[in-house]
Amino acid sequence: MSPELSLAKAYEKYFKIGAAVAFHNIDSYYPVLEKHFSSITPENEMKYSSIQPKEGVFTFDKIDRIFEVARKLGIKVRAHAPVWHNQTGKWMYQDGDKPASPELIYERIDAHSKAVCERFNKDVYAWDVVNEAARDEVFDVNTGGSPVYRESDYFKLCGEGFIEAAFKSMAKYSPDAQLFYNDYNECDPAKRERIVTLIRTLQDKGCRIDGFGMQQHYFFEPDYDELKRSIETYAALGLRLHITELDISLMATLNPGEKRLKPEDEGFKQYIQQALHPTPEKLAKIGDIYVKLFEVYRSYSDVIDSVTTWGVADDYTWLDFFGADPNMPKVKQYPLLFDENHEPKPCVVRLIEDAEAGR
């Protein structure tokens, strides 16, 4: 690749190019971040268990380092997922030896929002205020619960009120950053309907919600028409859109279905066998999918402000550890735009050429 070619510069007229980073790798990724990216997202370092492992005890050392590097790079941060059902200490849900009341949980959310906003506001352009609060599976009337919301500890104690509380708190302490709801499987029609209901409920309650984060984790070939319908549906709510956690599992090139293969599924063993020795054609197909996805993203750049991959390069990706069966060999994934040596894959050149040609 020519030294002057930059993914971020090629996409300046379309949207920011971002990547998720971690404390343990941000320094090693500095050269590629400096050249090709215009936004970063802390992968885990801004979640409750990292910043506030115990009530009132804040540990900022790791996240401070990420913000220090961002300032050195001269780029802003997408601050990810303060309120999430995972990576949150049990203290959030307890009041001594009894369950915490909704009011106490709201007070704790508000105190956390105040602390992180006071520390990081000047370097943050968007917050994923609440992450993955919509129900993922189809509602079964026989099991009870909500047809819209995930049965998280937050929901069991507060109902949907914790989402409203989080957005109103963040709006109070971060008036200048964009506030996002973030979720996955967002192009599945049934879940899309639940997400739309969640967002409209927030809007009806007077919450400031500026955007929706479409995670875009792919474990099967994308349905590009469904992606377009989803973008149009969410944009019709008056929201800005960010692609927030984009990656393409090797499974996407080997899975003939439309759902992620799990260890108990028929075909999972065959996937493992093929994935242990991926052909050059299958690896190249990951790049082909990126090219097609970015073609869609560019065509909606009037509503999409940022596209973030969930990781920088293939030497470190959460997918190497996700959904694994301990009784089967580990499968190396190649889901990102840069290889294990931090070099751009051939598809990056295609993405730059397409952007510069206005295709």
The residues carrying an active-site annotation are 132, 245
How many Cβ atoms are within 10 Å of 10's Cβ, its own excluded?
18
Token look-up 């189809």 returns: 138
Cα separation, 18 vs 33, whole angstroms: 9
Cα separation, 138 vs 202, whole angstroms: 22
What the block records as the tokens of 214 is 């479409």
- Per DSSP, the residues of 218-272 read ESS---HHHHHHHHHHHHTTT-EEEEEEEEE-THHHH--SSS---TTSTTHHHHH
How many Cβ atoms are within 10 Å of 9's Cβ, its own excluded?
16
- Identify the bridge partners of residue 77 per DSSP, sorted by sequence position: 40, 124
User: Percent helix, strand and coil across the chain, each rounded to 5?
Assistant: 40, 20, 40
CA distances 32 to 20, 62, 292, Å, are: 13, 20, 23
What the block records as the tokens of 140 is 């079964």
Contact predicate 331/276, CB 8 Å: yes
What the block records as the tokens of 40 is 């970063």
Count how many residues are written for the chain. Answer: 359
Q: What is the CA radius of gyration of the chain?
A: 20
Cα separation, 223 vs 89, whole angstroms: 37
Alpha helices in the chain (DSSP H): 7-10, 30-36, 48-51, 61-73, 102-120, 153-158, 161-173, 189-204, 224-235, 251-254, 268-275, 280-299, 346-357
What one-letter code names the amino acid at 290? Answer: Y
